[in-house]
Structure 1
Amino acid sequence: MPAVTADTLTLPRVAVPDPEHAAERPVRSVTTAPTGVEGEGFPVRRAFAGVSASALDPFIHMDQMGEVEYAPGEPKGTPWHPHRGFETVTYMIDGIFEHQDSNGGGGVITNGDTQWMTAGGGILHIERPPEHLVASGGLFHGIQLWVNLPRANKFAPPRYQDIRGKQATLLSSDDGGTLLRVIAGEVDGHTGPGSTFTPITLVHATLSPGARLRLPWNPGYNALAYILAGNGGVGDERRPIHKGQLAVFGPGDVLTLNADTAQPSAEPNLEVLLLGGRPIREPVVHYGPFVMNTKAEIIQAMEDYRAGRLGVIPAERLPHAHGDLPADG
């Protein structure tokens, strides 16, 4: 981890924000993600647990899937299940995952790839390791993020984006100590390949031991930093943070992160998922796989799912029964 690497000395550099004209974003909170089980039994960390919805807006939910080394026969996925009203973003750091949906989208994502599925008005999908990985076992580690859709786009037609790891925009911090992989949105005028209904920025940053990153950040967006591996500090005050913790930043123009000089032997760098977006500021009612604006819309989504109006499982592959609603996924 991670799969996508580069020599930072050869990459475009992100300009250091002028401290006289750029306000530092303070750290509002640091929370620790509790562990849980998703789908057919794969372990997750609930990254957003304990954080207010207003601080997360436009994000709804995020799981760190793994990091786990499966024995042969152990890899697991999710059964067929519905979604409506938001987008799912699956970023695969290590391992392989297959996706298939009722809109004809699908593919295989592996080291550094991202699949971006807009559920919109409704879709059924399945995510699982391929059969050869189930047979052999292996390392599995990824992120699934849910991005809310504004009321005007809740019923947009479903779509699927397959973003290869090599398509991410690679940048370097000014001193070369940090590698930035821009998956979606914009950093210092450089844009990532992901196309989003809700304006967001999604970046995977690798800070070398002892590195300090001061990153310009859209002042109209919120700002979150989730630690995938390693130890460090967040904010100008260098508030301690480690693997499995989420930092929520307050308003401002600049994010600051620091990597400890000494890192765990198995995690040589500070790995951080940086995300932010323009708050939607609309009512949110979240029930299982549906994210809508009202309770009535949730009830309608459940009725539409049970009536088969959110899609039909493709006849050529029926690995799971079309059953009860899962909690998430």
Structure 2
Amino acid sequence: MPAVTADTLTLPRLPDLPQTATAWRPVREVVRAREFLEGEGFRVRRPFPGVGLANADPFLLLDHMGAVEYGPGEAKGAPWHPHRGFETVTYMIDGALEHRDSAGGGGLITDGGTQWMTAGSGVLHSELPPQDVVARGGLFHGVQLWVNLPRAEKWTPPRYQDIAARDTTLLSSGDGGALVRLVAGDVAGFRGPGATRTPITYLHATLSPGARLDLPWPEDFTAMVYVLAGRGTVGPERRPLDEGHLAVLGRGGALTAHAATPWDVLVLGGLPLNEPVARYGPFVMNTRAEIIQAIEDHQAGRLGRTQVPHVTAADEELS
């Protein structure tokens, strides 16, 4: 699982938090991801939405793609389809995915890179493995997260952010046993490169066996830990968490996790929007009437005509 690797001894350290005086977030529930087929028939594991966790406000969906070793001609993706009203965040751990949009933008997402698409008022796009990857096969492993947009932002013009692996903020846990890749949001004064319209924090951590990861966390944010690979425990009660399981944490000012084996986890949370959600397939709005309008706009060819700026992490630093 390469993503971005680094020597944790050379990285900035997250602070050691006092074990007895910290308001650690307990585990409220654990959800096991269910399997679905998406796009051209590739398999995903989805912890939400589902019967176990219908509402993860401000998040709408989390799809874990792989890890899978494709043979020649087996790699699949998602051909052209529409979106409106939210953002898709595609993070590639292994392999490559080519992103194209209806205005001719997009790019290649590869090991450790992130493509952040704000669908906003509407866009058409495709997510497909490059032809050379299809021809030769290989390892494919990634995650796609859907982030809801607040009502006031749902009609914003579409745009992209390309976050290359080298742009990701790299940190070490206090004990030096965990590598933290911060994609978006703030942790202990460190900031990820992703520019968010909905306040969230999103990171990927790799823990060595026996390592502990303590993260200060905004008290008004939700908090979840999803296991990409390996086994460990979450929360002060040391709740076991295996691959494909998602822990939903309760209230508090920090979260803690301990690795039993080599352990890869996503840690994510955000400020709940607390707004009505109307969703139908690739459209997420606030009312049924807005969903009907989105369907009609798509059928009439009115989606994807906005000029989509192609934004990189470097551009965001200059803005």
TM-score (ref. length: structure 2): 0.93
Please tell me whether residue 50 in structure 1 is matched to residue 51 in structure 2: yes
Summarize the alignment of residues 231-310 of structure 1 with structure 2, pairs less than 5 Å apart: 231-260=231-260, 263=261, 269-310=262-303
Q: Can you list the C-alpha shifts for 1:78-122, whole angstroms capped at 9, x where unaligned?
A: 110000000000000000100001234200010000000000000
> CA contact under 8 A between 1:31 and 1:246: conserved in structure 2?
yes
Contact 2:31-2:53 within 8 A present in 1 as well: no
The runs of 5 or more residues in structure 1 that have no matched partner are 264-268, 315-329
Partner letter of residue 194 of structure 2? G
Partner residue, 2:176:
176
Residue deviations 1:187-245, cap 9 Å, x none?
10000000010010000011110111121111111001000000011111111110000
Structure 2 CA distance, aligned partners of 1:14 and 1:66? 30
Q: Which has the higher strand share?
A: 2
Structure 1 stretches of 4+ moved >6 Å: none
8 Å Cα contact 1:103/1:158 also seen in 2: no
RMSD: 1.4
Please say if residues 33 and 245 of structure 1, whose CA atoms lie closer than 8 Å, have aligned partners that are also in contact.
yes
CA distance in structure 2 between the partners assigned to 1:65 and 1:162 by the alignment = 20
Q: What letter corresponds to residue 281 of structure 1 in structure 2?
A: N
Deviations 1:300-320 (A, max 9, x none): 000000001112699xxxxxx
Residue matched to 1:165: 165
2:297 touches 2:303 (CA, 8 Å); kept in 1?
Answer: yes
- Are 1:103 and 2:103 an aligned pair? yes
| Residue 13 in structure 1 maps to residue 26 in structure 2 | no
1:131 alignment counterpart: 131
Deviation at 1:21, TM superposition (A): 4.7
- Residue matched to 2:142: 142
SS at match of 1:103: coil
* In 2: Cα distance, 1:306 partner to 1:99 partner: 22
Describe how 1:79-90 pairs up with structure 2 within 5 A: 79-90=79-90
- Which residue identity lines up with residue 298 of structure 2 in the other structure? Y
> Can you list the C-alpha shifts for 1:35-63, whole angstroms capped at 9, x where unaligned?
11110011110121334444x10000010
Q: For the residues of structure 1 that align with 2:235 and 2:228, how far apart are their CA atoms?
A: 17
- AA of the residue aligned to 1:224: M
What's the TM-score once normalised by structure 1's chain length? 0.90
Q: Percent identity?
A: 64
Distance of 2:279 and 2:22 partners within structure 1: 36
CA distance in 2, matches of 1:70, 1:270: 23
2:223 and 2:243 map into 1 onto residues whose CA distance is 18
Q: Which amino acid aligns with 1:97?
A: L
Check conservation: 2:47, 2:53, Cα contact below 8 A.
no
Checking the alignment, whether the CA contact within 8 Å between 1:31 and 1:50 is kept in structure 2 is: no
Q: Name which of structure 1's ranges 19-28 and 111-120 shifts more when overlaid on structure 2.
A: 19-28
- 1:57-96 map, 5 Å: 57-96=57-96
Contact 1:232/1:242 (<8 A) preserved:
yes
- Which letter does structure 2 place at the counterpart of 1:32? R
CA distance in 2, matches of 1:50, 1:196: 28
Structure 2, gaps ≥5 residues long: 308-319
Q: What are the superposed Cα offsets for residues 231-288 of structure 1, whole Å, 9 maximum, x if unpaired? A: 011111111110000000001011111111xx3xxxxx10000000000000001110
Does structure 2 retain, via aligned residues, the 8 Å contact 1:97–1:129? yes
Give the whole-Å Cα distance in 1 for the aligned partners of 2:17 and 2:105.
41
User: Match for 2:67: what amino acid?
Assistant: E
Deviation string 1:53-79 (CA, Å, 9 cap, x unpaired) is: 44x100000100111111101101111
